[in-house]
Amino acid sequence: MNKKEILEKFSADPQRYYNVNLFEDHGFERISCNVCNRFFWTLDSERVKCPDHSDDTYSFIGDPPTSKRFDYTQSWKEVESFFVKNNHTSINRYPVVCRWRDDLYFTIASIVDFQRVMGSKVVFEFPANPLVVPQTCLRFKDLENVGVTGRHFSSFCMIGQHSIPNENGYWKDECVNLDFNLLTQQFGIAKKEITFVEDVWEGGGSFGSSLEYFVRGLELGNAVFTEFQGDLSNYKTLDQRIIDMGAGLERFAWITMGTPTAYDCCFGPITQKLIQNAGIDSDSSVLVPYFTEIAKNLELYDDLAQVRKNAIKKTGLSDEQINRIITPLEGIYLIIDHIRTLIFAISDGALPSNVGGGYNLRIMLRRIVSTMNRLKMKFDLDEIIDIQIDYLKDTYPELENTREDVKEIISIETGRYDSSKQRMQKIVGKLNKEPKVEDLITLYESDGVTPEYLKEMNVISEIPSTFYAKLSDLHQSKKQKEQVNLPLEGIPDTDLLFYGDDPREFNARVLKSFDNFVVLDKTAFYARGGGQEPDHGKIGGQEIIDVTKHGNVVVHEIKGDVPKEGDAVTCVVDAKRRDGITKNHTSTHIINTSARSVLGSWVWQHSAFKEEDHARLDITHHSALTDEDVMKIEDAANSIIEKSIPVKIENFDRGTAEQKYGFRIYQGGVVPVKSVRIVSIGDLDIEACGGTHVANTSDIKQIKITRTKRIQDGVVRIEFVSGYGAKEFVKKKQQDSENKEKEEKLKEQEKLKRIENRQQAKERIPLLVENFSPYVFGQGRSTIAEITMEHTESGKANFCYSTSDNYDDVFHIGLGEAICKADPMCIYCGLFEQGDKIRVIVYAGDEISKEKSAGDIVKSISQILGGAGGGSAKFAQGGGTDKSKKEDAIKNAKSMINE
Ligand SMILES: [Zn+2]
Ligand SMILES: [Zn+2]
């Protein structure tokens, strides 16, 4: 079943699918386009072509069909007041970061606000009926069109008009009536100008007819009637029919202003300011025909370069005019558009990065910088942000709160890009042919080189039109969760005691047992979920090692004998373990809010893990944490504990919770059930969470951050301990540092002692030399201060040695040299320990060295010591590791000398 088939079928029965009261009442004619055969409804009897093929297409540029002029902000005020007047509730926009859907990073349409995924089904939850919402939507597929076509944006405001046809809401007749009146009464567009084109919509298993409405070729809105499910040969009406009318606010402003592009009337005063700064002559006699041609050609050609070429040819613009006016204008539009999108995305908690949705934001930021560089424009991004927020806050006052955060993130990210340029330059230098789309994607994916940069460096002249669509596809899909199939069919939901009295001991009945698993009628064992590890304990005396939840059935894994089905069993939850895990869980909430208050509004929980004795929280943040950051977060967390704040748990209907607390509640991700459990710590932290929590923050006693680490681009891990664990950790840390201090003191003392010894020894050298001199000493053997001298008869070698550990290398070298100088027949041998080695230093006096070589002696001694050494006849050194061989070594030296 494709759209074309559905349209054919529906258009064959217009009475059933398209005719509405409005058409009857006003006498609209149904006409088939004489170019494409498409059916449309009009009051203009001369109209024979559909809006895509009409001659008046885009004739509103320079000649708007209204007497009133409304810019972007004013247009919303008009739309809002019209619908409110007509019994609609005006809802604030939802975040552009789509926290309530697992399958979308960003909000792409107003209807997405109200869609919730339950299992494989999409359900609608309306906070009011009927309603209207100015929903900012992000779309990245047509990035290359932005700035060039005059009407493509990376983000736009979709006016969402939504209704469920029940006692409060309405269906087709009323919807089309309202839309017609909005255009004619509120905006003052002549009835004849409005054309409704027959179309269809299908997706997610349902489909229905739709009516697109156009004025002078510009599609202003599309009213979709989601009505059926099944296939074309057999379909039935949905239980929940929905009106999904989406209209582009930017286009409403544009049609009344008639500016050359939609950008001129939607970015407030910033466009004019940048045009002035850049010194561009924005002569409307050039721009009106040029952008009218661009708009017309866009319907005719897929290739943007072709569209541009045709428009230039048709309007006869010179190269000089293109370079001086058009190209810089396109750049300015792009910059403003992209910054506006970044303002919304960063305000709603997204960060530029190389993963997930952050990817598109980084791409846009790099496009901004490259465009400025290529066109040699120097704009102050902070100023652009300021002017834009000043302009947007009339409609979106919440942007004021994140003004500085947006600037901070954009400045960090711009700095990063600038510093990566050298690396990019090298990579680009190695390219030896013009890269194809696939090459461009590889260049960006693996090296971060953007096509804008290549354009800036004149490596490519145009960015291929498929680049952004391909890139976007690559990053669109999300991982599907693994499904485990257990034989649980027909088993009733487990009664979850941990959400009630939460006893540590209870009796239960075994409903099912298989392999090592058992299912009870009720349980107080917390099942692994939301990053909280499962409880342990005993069921029927057997140890429980894991607990998991499958749908609403809790499955316990047993080590040992599994009880039989029908058995009554006594169950005991490991209270100490649960207590540790619970403290750590509440602590993750506390650290999360503390990190956000210390670091910035962009901090969200990325993921979390809570065990008995340790836990971690991964948060979104642009850089690694400094020691100061960590200290501040820890202090903030501990002050929440000190304040003894009660932890409140309440259940809400999901829609109510969202309206009451906003989307910050979704820190742990999407909640796939209708009733959400809200855990609040005063008004400091309010999260949807299914975990176990302490009753009061003071129960935690203390939080200690043990380690932090940047684990991926834009994500920082905070490891911590809490409660008893934190106390132990702090105690151990204190002990460690005390021990370390002691050790260091001891080392310092030893060092001082050695210096002192050395000094003393040095002073002793002349005295020793004097005492051992042959003239003083005569023959025989004597030991002074652990130094032994053996004098033999004259003409033979004298031997002086020491194995004392009181002497070091400096001493031995000093004494050896001095003694051998005073006595040319003396051989000196010093053995001493140094660390885990034993070293030897040997000197031989001038005379004796002619017969006995110091080198030979060292070589021999070192061998005995289990090492090696050598040197000259007069001086040598070496050593080994066998400290027990000291005496053997001296004996060996003596025998060599006396031989
Ligand atoms: Zn047509
Ligand atoms: Zn939680």
Q: What are 782-837's pLDDT values in tens digits?
A: 888 888 988 877 778 889 999 988 888 888 988 999 999 988 989 999 999 888 89
- Please tell me the distance between residue 195's alpha carbon and the centre of ligand 1 in angstroms: 12
CA of 399 to the centre of ligand 2 (A): 27
Instruction: Tell me which of 42-56, 125-139, 332-346 is least confident.
Output: 42-56
Which ligand is located closest to the Cα atom of residue 49?
1
Is 210 strand, coil or helix?
Answer: strand
CA of 307 to the centre of ligand 1 (A): 19
pLDDT, tens digit (0-9, with 9 covering 90-100), for 731-740: 888 899 899 9
The tokens of 553 are what? Answer: 């059935």
Residue 299 Cα to ligand 1 midpoint, Å, equals: 11
Q: What is the pLDDT of residue 571?
A: 95
- In one-letter notation, the amino acid at residue 135 is Q
User: Which listed ligand is nearest to 38 at the C-alpha?
Assistant: 1
Residues 615 and 531: their CA atoms lie apart, in Å, by: 9
Q: Which ligand is nearest to the CA of 55?
A: 1
663 near 127, Cβ under 8 Å? no
Residue from 535, 537, 534 nearest 570 by CA: 537
Q: Please report the pLDDT score of residue 159 as a whole number.
A: 97
Write out pLDDT tens, residues 24-73. Answer: 999 999 999 999 999 999 999 999 999 988 888 889 999 999 989 999 99
Ligand 2 centroid to Cα of residue 453, in Å, is 43
Nearest CA to 755 out of 801, 811, 803, 804 is that of 811
Cα 583 to ligand 2 centre (Å): 11
594-620 pLDDT, tens digit each: 999 999 999 999 999 999 999 999 999
Q: Among all ligands shown, which has an atom nearest to the Cα of 39? A: 1
Q: Quick one: pLDDT at residue 479?
A: 40
- At CA 121, angle to CA 116 and CA 123, rounded to 5? 40
Q: State the distance from the centre of ligand 1 to the C-alpha of 32, rounded, in angstroms.
A: 8
Residue listed under structure tokens 């696939």: 438
Ligand 1 geometric centre to CA of 46 (Å): 15
Mean pLDDT of the chain: 90
The residue among 103 and 520 whose pLDDT is bigger is 520
Ligand 1 mean position to 152 CA, how many Å?
Answer: 22
Ligand with smallest separation from the Cα of 32:
1
CA 602, chain centre distance (Å): 10
CA of 41 to the centre of ligand 1 (A): 13
Q: Are strands 495-496 and 522-523 parallel, antiparallel or unpaired?
A: parallel
CA of 178 to the centre of ligand 1 (A): 26
DSSP annotation string for 359-420: HHHHHHHHHHHHHHHHTT----HHHHHHHHHHHHTTT-GGGGGGHHHHHHHHHHHHHHHHHT
pLDDT digits (tens, 9 = 90+) for 396-411: 999 999 999 999 999 9
Ligand closest to the CA atom of residue 37:
1
pLDDT in tens, 420-433: 888 888 888 888 77
Ligand 2 centre and the CA of 219: distance in Å? 45
Alpha helices in 602-723 (DSSP H): 627-642, 654-661
Contact 544, 561 (CB under 8 A): no
Distance 51 CA to ligand 1 centre (A): 7
Mean pLDDT check: name the lowest of 123-137, 421-435, 713-727.
421-435
User: Which carries the bigger pLDDT value, residue 680 or residue 457?
Assistant: 680
Provide the residue type at 45 as one letter: S
**Span of 65-74, 141-150, 761-770, 797-806 with lowest mean pLDDT:** 761-770
Q: Is the pTM of this model over 0.85?
A: no
Provide the pairing of β-strand 131-138 with 89-90. parallel
Structure tokens at 526: 């917390």
pLDDT at 483 over 70: no
End-to-end CA distance of the chain: 110
Q: What is the Å distance from ligand 2's center to 700 Cα?
A: 15
Max mean pLDDT among 98-107, 566-575, 722-731 falls in 566-575
Closest ligand, as measured to the CA of 300: 1
**Ligand 2 centroid vs 122 CA: distance in angstroms?**
25
